[in-house]
Structure 1
Amino acid sequence: MSTDDAPIPARHAAPAAARERISRRIGAIAPSATLAVDSTAKALKAAGRPVIGFGAGEPDFPTPQHVVDAAAEAVRDPRNHRYTAAAGLPELREAVAATVASSTGLEIEPAQVLITNGGKQAVYQTFATLLDPGDEVILPAPYWTTYPEAIRLAGATEVEVLAGAEQDYLPTMEQLEAARTERTRAVLLCSPSNPTGAVMSPEQIRELGRWALEHGIWVITDEIYQHLTYDGVEFTSVLAAVPELAETTVILGGVAKTFAMTGWRVGWMVGPRDVITAASNLQSHLTSNVNNVAQRAAVAALTGPTEPIEEMRLAFDRRRRTIVEKLSQVPGFTVPTPTGAFYAFPDVTGALGRSIRGTEVTTSAELATAILEHAEVAAVPGEAFGAPGHLRFSYALADEDLAEGIDRVIALLSE
């Protein structure tokens, strides 16, 4: 027998033909629609097209100077050149604990805080820590694109509860109760909301919290937009409304939106000690500590002057009023007024079922494509948020770009 005919040793055998190259778990993940739209807009701009992007939820302001100065000082400190505790710098855990204590009225210990690499890691680790295969999470829709993917990665299933523009994108207790089963493990709360900008009233928060408490359901509450509310609307933490939920609630947050620090990648989880300990163990294997310089910057953000926050909030408020006024002029758009975050989420079903420059448009995804192609404006279709028939426009961009971009959409859909 020639060497060409020799059998292949088992350890070098080709993989079975039926086996996919990518695991089913990872292969099932959909890419972030918001980042995909933002990436497309930036690529088109780089190619010379005057695209205006409304896709990314990213403030256009620079990070406040006192935060940058703290980071510059931290770079020169050799302490920050080494590994630190996986759960976060003690100073930052203390600052987050104080921040959450202020918004909830509860005593929060630093041991109840885990510092993460951005808010997305906090989302993922919370679901991974709390959920088992077969569990269900009640997920109000419209929802942020990462939530369902993180739930599925934990082996659990999301149960969507859709609230449309006619109810200001806020689910009713009847809807939530109808979605509850014996497998319900948690409910996701995001107020102020990404993608809609809706804010639940203190009464609604209290009712939801008491319902969760009655049925032994965990509350996972994303409060990253808590400082961005308008028209006199106040943010209410679920733990301020129902403090008895303290042992079955995890609060998610970060510095990205409030302090224009999206690129610094600092988020957090706050919850019962056993949950935070378990999630810290997970993070010790995933990433270890968050970048020390970014953590020092986050300490400065949380403990420093608040004037930069208010200046940005006022600018967002101005842009909010502008974008609602202009989007309301687009034929076929219905635009609830957002009272939080920095997103407008018009119902665009009235603009569907028509031809735009020779192409039939029947879905919000097709409408977003037509607007990008013909008006050179990038928005995210509602399909990404579990709400077909809508578009999300972030108004965290310059006033001039905002006005010109929506004017282009008005012109295109008025043809």
Structure 2
Amino acid sequence: MKISARIASSRPLATTAMHGRVETLRNEGRPVIDFSIAISHFPAPRVVLDAVAGVIERQRTLPYTSVVGELRLRRHLLAKLRSENGLEADSGEIIVTNGAKQALYEALYVTSDPGDGVLIFKPHWPAYVATAQLLGLRPILADLPDEITEEGLAALEPARIVIINNPHNPTGKVYTRRELECIRDWVARTGARVIVDESYEHLVFEGRQTSLAALCDWRGIGVVTIFSASQSYAMMGWRIGFALAPAEVVQAMQTLQGPITAAAPHLSQVAADAAFASGASPAMLADYRARRDLAVDLFAGTPWIVMHAPDSGPYLWGDVRGLTLDSAGFAEALLEAKQVAVLPGEALGAPGFIRLGYISDDVATLRDGIRRIVEFGDAYAAKSKK
């Protein structure tokens, strides 16, 4: 059957493709350690499980809800935005989505036209570029600097939309207030719209996460802020998130979402209500911090990789440029030889790096996986010198 030109040249998202390969290998009986993605070893919060169990016990029928999400949930999300993010809004400025990816797709779809430029800092979450390309947009890739400055922003190519990931996947960067103010002033001058992905807002080890929308007239500038329960609440499989946007943008997103999926599932909305009301989990954050520090220590002294402790997030971002710029080849060979999956930097716009999710499985598996990577890299380095 003929496949449409819209999709024929596209490829599966790198993160999901690698995770799918791991599942295939595991189904074949190969004991692969999967660092290519971050799936928490924590369960969803008890308040979430109890809330969902209570609804299942009490209700025989789970209803459709409004496409934008139940009004009760959206009102509770307003309280979360007010208390945690310093944002004032009303219920018509929130749309509940099937995770951050749906919110991203819809926000890009309704605020752009084919051919528009989208500024994306690299390394980047693969979905940013993939989604822009699916919509016929023109990704403008720029290196993410150590510090965002007015001079650096002024040198960038103008774009219709700017995507900001704060906290940042994969580097763990947490934008400072001053950096966000620079971005605010820059987009106000250029007229660019902004999509801010704050999916990792509760996984901050160093510094403090600030919402760009809290520092500006987000309605006037046109800021869409995306939130997700997946990482902040260990709810990857629940597929639930929401976006805050000007009312006209939310209305347009609703028009798009209606014929695609309609509302997010009722039970996932119940779960989201409980999760976003519960706030950050100090126990989970402490566990992740300990794992982060352990993983960085296990790589310390390895000459072919530079591994800094990230300020946030569930990933390590390893610099292997001293060994190879072909991190895709490195990752393929590692998977075959040592049965450890990592995400190569090419998938995130940065060859010569690898991304490791360190929050899955138990600590023994984390240790074993890093041991295998170090052994493989040492052998790779020795072979390269011959």
Which TM-score bucket, shorter chain as reference? over 0.9
Q: Is the 8 A contact 1:161 1:175 kept in 2?
A: no
Instruction: Provide closer, same or farther for how the CA distance between residues 44 and 171 of structure 1 changes in structure 2, counting only shifts above 3 A.
Output: farther
Instruction: Provide closer, same or farther for how the CA distance between residues 172 and 386 of structure 1 changes in structure 2, counting only shifts above 3 A.
Output: farther
Comparing 136-145 and 102-111, the one that deviates more: 102-111
Residue equivalent to 1:15 = none
Identity among equivalent pairs (%): 33
Return the match for 1:278 from 228, 252, 255: 252
Residue equivalent to 2:336 = 373
Q: How far is 1:91 from its partner?
A: 1.7
Asked if 1:249 corresponds to 2:223, the answer is yes
Q: Is the 8 A contact 1:209 1:245 kept in 2?
A: no
Distance 2:328 2:151 in 1: 30
Asked if 1:389 corresponds to 2:352, the answer is yes
Aligned residues: 377
Return the match for 1:411 from 363, 375, 380: 375
Residue equivalent to 2:311 = 339
TM-superposition CA deviations, 1:305-342 (whole Å, max 9, x none): x47x1111111111111122223333311223310111
Distance 2:4 2:134 in 1: 12
SS in 1 for 2:155: helix
Q: Is the 8 A contact 1:74 1:80 kept in 2?
A: no
Instruction: Provide closer, same or farther for how the CA distance between residues 79 and 160 of structure 1 changes in structure 2, counting only shifts above 3 A.
Output: farther
Asked if 1:179 corresponds to 2:142, the answer is no
Return the match for 1:134 from 103, 109, 115: 115
Distance 2:150 2:364 in 1: 41
Matches within 5 A, 1:47-126: 47-78=28-59, 81-126=62-107
Q: Is the 8 A contact 1:59 1:260 kept in 2?
A: yes
Q: How far is 1:172 from its partner?
A: 4.8
Distance 1:59 1:264 in 2: 13
Query: What residue ranges of structure 1 are gaps of 5+ in the alignment?
Result: 1-19, 353-361
CA RMSD of aligned residues (A): 1.8
Distance 1:65 1:249 in 2: 33
Q: How far is 1:229 from its partner?
A: 0.7
Asked if 1:363 corresponds to 2:318, the answer is no
Distance 1:80 1:143 in 2: 41
Q: TM-score, normalised by structure 1?
A: 0.86
Query: What residue ranges of structure 2 are gaps of 5+ in the alignment?
Result: 380-386
Distance 1:173 1:337 in 2: 27
Instruction: Provide closer, same or farther for how the CA distance between residues 79 and 246 of structure 1 changes in structure 2, counting only shifts above 3 A.
Output: farther
Q: Is the 8 A contact 1:117 1:267 kept in 2?
A: yes
Q: TM-score, normalised by structure 2?
A: 0.93
Distance 1:393 1:173 in 2: 32
SS in 2 for 1:160: strand
Residue equivalent to 2:382 = none
State the structure with more CA Rg: 1
Q: How far is 1:176 from its partner?
A: 3.3
Residue equivalent to 2:383 = none
Q: Is the 8 A contact 1:224 1:255 kept in 2?
A: yes
Q: How far is 1:42 from its partner?
A: 2.6
Residue equivalent to 1:268 = 242
Comparing 112-121 and 47-56, the one that deviates more: 47-56
Residue equivalent to 2:191 = 216
Comparing 325-334 and 142-151, the one that deviates more: 325-334
